[in-house]
């Protein structure tokens, strides 16, 4: 584990040549406890002069590379507790703002929130999906939605109630998630996924005779994978020629590599909003098929280029796209422009900094 002290030294080296005024106070923000979004966000914040640190509590099969990793899963329970306790105390001494992801904090019972509040620390919570998606609300506008069984409504409500006692500002990535928290926290914000577009070299589809279609589900049931597999089988049965690849159990870098080679990317068909895969695929210049709820379309920018499909019509939507390969490059270029305008790191980072200054 890289210590906070060593990380801060690296941060100072990284920013040593940047022309900041002497009187400028640098915000110090810690992001915990896991997830790839926080890694990209911290990189974006550092571009803006924020001392932002992404820290994972556990290592992971996707080989994400946060700034710090405590590797608690490699320790016994007593050792893990000692490491976490010590890290919390070190973090209190160093950081001004604590940015929690996926509705989790240092401890499952959230007792650290009281400690942080007494220490005068600022806090913000960032919800990403299953940690707030309530089936009872979601199914009113979406008959296809699924939720993770471990995130029961009782668990979600209890967790959010604890968080909102101490935290006034909550962030989500899209309007679908916003409806679950809008009446819970004092201040709620919708900020799109953050990616550094310069790290994605677009490869626009050329309409090759046997195109590659990719689907990368993190959870088959939540993403509607079975409907996609049925569509693939049906289209191949009636004579369509294409390759289909299901990306599972790959590292993040392996998944990125495969996305860059695709002609068409299918994201998800149940949730009703676009995911991180949609954003990265558009950055690569790929046409993306995804289900965006009809009642939410007006809440997205009007130039959203995603090809909308539901479980009930995905076969027809994919068939139409395959029948018109001459449109793929244009859709891909629209996607790239969309990501540059709404998801690019410098653009998105400013929105977070605005919130931090309100705390």
- pLDDT digit string (tens) for 7-50? 555 554 455 445 444 445 689 999 999 988 899 899 999 999 99
Which range of 12-16, 148-152, 327-331 scores highest in mean pLDDT? It is: 327-331
The label of the residue with tokens 């989500």 reads 172
The lowest-confidence range among 167-171, 247-251, 308-312 is: 247-251
Nearest Cα to Cα of residue 190 among 273, 110, 269: 273
Q: What angle, rounded to 10 degrees, do the helices at 77-94 and 4-15 form?
A: 40
pLDDT at position 1 over 60? no
Strand segments, DSSP code E, in the chain are: 28-32, 51-56, 68-69, 97-101, 122-126, 169-172, 187-190, 212-215, 243-246, 264-266, 288-290, 307-308
194: tokens are 């953050």
Question: Taking all residues of the chain, what is their mean pLDDT, rounded to a whole number?
Answer: 92
**Homologous superfamily in CATH for domain 198-342:** Glycogen Phosphorylase B; (3.40.50.2000)
- At 22 the pLDDT is 41
Q: What is the pLDDT averaged over residues 83-100? A: 97
Q: What are phi and psi of 294, to 5 degrees?
A: -55, -40
Q: What is the CA radius of gyration of the chain?
A: 21
Rounded to a whole number, what is the distance in angstroms from the first to the last CA of the chain? 30
Sequence-distant (6+) residues with CB within 8 A of 49 are 15, 18, 20, 24, 26
Q: What is the pLDDT averaged over residues 54-64? A: 86
Where b means 16+ CB within 10 Å and e means fewer, 52-81 reads bbbbbbebeeeebebbbbbebeeeeeeebe
Instruction: Collapse the DSSP code of 2 into the 3-class scheme (helix H, G, I; strand E, B; otherwise coil) and give the result.
Output: coil
218 pLDDT tier (thresholds 50, 70, 90): confident
**In this predicted model, what pLDDT tens digit does every residue of 250-274 receive, in sequence order?**
888 899 999 999 999 999 999 999 9
- At 3 the pLDDT is 60
User: Which run of H or of E encompasses 78?
Assistant: helix 77-94
The lowest-confidence range among 21-35, 142-156, 215-229 is: 21-35
**Homologous superfamily in CATH for domain 4-194+345-356:** Glycogen Phosphorylase B; (3.40.50.2000)
Q: What is the pLDDT averaged over residues 110-122? A: 97
Percent over 70 (pLDDT), the chain: 93
**In this predicted model, what pLDDT tens digit does every residue of 189-208 receive, in sequence order?**
999 989 999 999 999 999 89
72: tokens are 């608690």
Q: What is the pLDDT averaged over residues 76-88? A: 95
Q: What is the pLDDT averaged over residues 206-230? A: 94
pLDDT at position 179 over 70? yes
Sequence-distant (6+) residues with CB within 8 A of 232 are 213, 244
- At 14 the pLDDT is 52
Instruction: Collapse the DSSP code of 214 into the 3-class scheme (helix H, G, I; strand E, B; otherwise coil) and give the result.
Output: strand
262: tokens are 């695709």
Task: Give the residues across from 32 on adjacent strands.
Answer: 100
- At 292 the pLDDT is 97
Distance CA(253)–CA(38), nearest Å, equals: 16
Sequence-distant (6+) residues with CB within 8 A of 240 are 319, 322
Nearest Cα to Cα of residue 346 among 47, 67, 19, 37: 47
Determine if the pTM surpasses 0.75: yes
Instruction: Please state whether beta strands 264-266 and 243-246 pair in parallel, antiparallel, or not at all (unpaired).
Output: unpaired
Higher pLDDT, 249 or 21: 249
All CATH 3.40.50.2000 domain ranges in the chain, comma separated: 4-194+345-356, 198-342
Nearest Cα to Cα of residue 269 among 303, 305, 220: 220
pLDDT at position 290 over 60? yes
């Amino acid at each position: 584990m890289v210590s906070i002290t060593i990380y801060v030294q690296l941060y100072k080296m990284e920013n040593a040549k940047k022309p900041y005024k002497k009187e400028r106070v640098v915000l110090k923000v810690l992001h915990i406890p896991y997830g790839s979004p926080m890694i990209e966000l911290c990189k974006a914040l550092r571009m803006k002069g924020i001392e932002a640190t992404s820290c994972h509590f556990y290592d992971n099969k996707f080989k994400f590379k946060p700034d710090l990793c405590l590797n608690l899963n490699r320790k016994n329970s007593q050792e893990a507790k000692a490491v976490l306790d010590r890290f919390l105390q070190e973090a209190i001494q160093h950081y001004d703002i604590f940015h929690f992801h996926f509705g989790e904090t240092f401890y499952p019972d959230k007792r650290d929130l009281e400690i942080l509040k007494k220490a005068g620390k600022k806090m913000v919570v960032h919800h990403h999906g299953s940690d707030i998606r309530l089936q009872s609300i979601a199914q009113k506008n979406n008959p296809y939605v699924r939720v993770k069984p471990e995130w029961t409504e009782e668990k979600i409500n209890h967790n959010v109630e604890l968080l909102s006692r101490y935290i006034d500002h909550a962030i989500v990535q899209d309007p679908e998630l916003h409806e679950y928290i809008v009446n819970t926290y004092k201040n709620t914000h919708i900020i799109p996924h953050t990616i550094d577009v310069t790290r994605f070299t677009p490869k626009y589809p050329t309409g090759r005779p046997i195109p590659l279609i990719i689907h990368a589900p993190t959870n088959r049931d939540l993403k509607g994978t079975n409907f996609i597999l049925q569509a693939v089988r049906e289209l191949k049965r009636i004579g369509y020629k294409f390759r289909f690849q299901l990306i599972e159990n790959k590292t993040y870098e392996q998944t990125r590599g495969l996305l860059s080679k695709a002609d068409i990317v299918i994201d998800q068909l149940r949730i009703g909003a676009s995911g991180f895969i949609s954003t990265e695929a558009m950055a690569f210049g790929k046409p993306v098929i995804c289900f965006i709820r009809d009642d939410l379309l007006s809440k997205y920018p009007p130039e959203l280029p995603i090809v909308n499909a539901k479980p009930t019509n995905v076969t027809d939507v994919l068939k139409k796209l395959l029948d018109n390969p001459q449109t793929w490059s244009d859709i891909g270029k629209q996607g790239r422009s969309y990501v540059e305008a709404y998801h690019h790191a410098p653009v998105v980072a400013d929105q977070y900094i605005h919130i931090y200054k309100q705390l």
